[in-house]
Structure 1
Amino acid sequence: MKKMLLPVITALIVLTSCAASKKLTAEQQYMNKQYKELKNVLNEAEVSILNDSLKVIFPDHILFATASDQLKDDIKPTFERFAGVLNKYDKTKIMITGHTDNTGVAAYNRDLSERRAVSAKQLLNNNKVDNERMFTWGLADRDPIGDNTTEAGKAKNRRVEFVILYNLK
């Protein structure tokens, strides 16, 4: 009996420690719920979860005309749904980054990318997302996700990204 008891106790300890290590923190559970809702309401965007943050990428061709920082009217209902989820999960901060391809002068691309990020922030703010939660940054062509030698790659690089972080106070 004693011979069988030791392996059973050892197995229970191992299983218990494995189960405990798989438990998510309250912050991770909160972010996972938000991730699932964003995936559900944002068909136009790529939504991913990275460690303890969420990333939402809107391609430029959906949001802006070429070389423009004015959001297209047909994206506004999508931003309304996006804002609804952001407002529901108000324990987060949102970093909004604008991007361009490498065509043109670097100073113009920096300015354009910042104006795109600000334009996206303003539309979210118009949908009641608190300005204090959002920060903008223009990255111009510094973080390409596509090949800048092709038109398809350049189109991928002209985008706005949102990184959503749990707000630790």
Structure 2
Amino acid sequence: MKKMLSASRFWLSVAAAIVFLASCATSKKAINPHTYMNKQYKELKSVLNDAEVSIIKDSVKVIFPNNVLFASSSDELKEEVKPTFERFAGVLNKYDKTKILITGHTDNTGAAAYNRDLSEKRAASAKRLLGSEKVSSDRMFTWGLSDRDPIAGNDTEAGKARNRRVEFVILYDVKQ
């Protein structure tokens, strides 16, 4: 009788251990990228009042208009944008399974070489500010697109103002 009780306790312990290990294994499953990016999108949408935040498939796009970040013809970030970037960086740091492409843009006013240089400097300034907020530089990539990707017509001042911007495309890092 004692042997049977001892054997049943053993098998009960084995079964409990298997159930426990199985539950741990399922809780450590890889996070669904779509779910992960949707959560990040919702959080960014709630903390970034001055930016357009949209989700396209499994990437999040954040557009900061020029008048929020830079003075005209400048790559120096405005001082008043720092609290917004602190909130932005906080979300980026929370969702660290992503890579961030930072693109700088200009309108079509001025020489092509000047616009290319300015757009690259704007992207680099945004990267530096995020880096100062502890966003890993290994996750960020910059690209100056000059006036090659307008989101509005360059035939009006309002359109030109919209085209002078910095965009962030946040992508799930499949290597995570």
Secondary structure (helix, strand or coil) at the match of 1:164 reads strand
Provide the C-alpha distance between the structure 2 equivalents of 1:36 and 1:51, rounded to a whole number of angstroms.
14
Q: For 1:17-166, what aligned pairs fall within 5 Å after superposition? A: 26-166=32-172
Rg bigger for which structure? 2
2:18 corresponding residue in structure 1: none
Write the letter of the residue equivalent to 1:27.
Answer: P
How much has 1:112 moved relative to structure 2? 0.1
How much has 1:75 moved relative to structure 2? 0.3
Identical positions, percent:
74
Per-residue CA deviation, residues 76-102 of structure 1 (Å, 9 max, x unaligned), is 000000000000000000000000000
How much has 1:148 moved relative to structure 2? 0.2
How much has 1:150 moved relative to structure 2? 0.3
How much has 1:141 moved relative to structure 2? 0.2
Tell me the number of residue pairs that the alignment of Structure 1 and Structure 2 aligns: 145
Unaligned 5+ runs, structure 2: 1-30
Structural RMSD (CA): 0.7
1:16 corresponding residue in structure 2: none
Secondary structure (helix, strand or coil) at the match of 2:41 reads helix
TM-score (norm 2): 0.82
Unaligned 5+ runs, structure 1: 1-24
Secondary structure (helix, strand or coil) at the match of 1:70 reads coil
Deviating above 2 A after TM superposition, structure 1's stretches of 4 or more consecutive aligned residues are none
How much has 1:138 moved relative to structure 2? 0.1
Provide the C-alpha distance between the structure 2 equivalents of 1:27 and 1:144, rounded to a whole number of angstroms.
29
TM-score (norm 1): 0.85
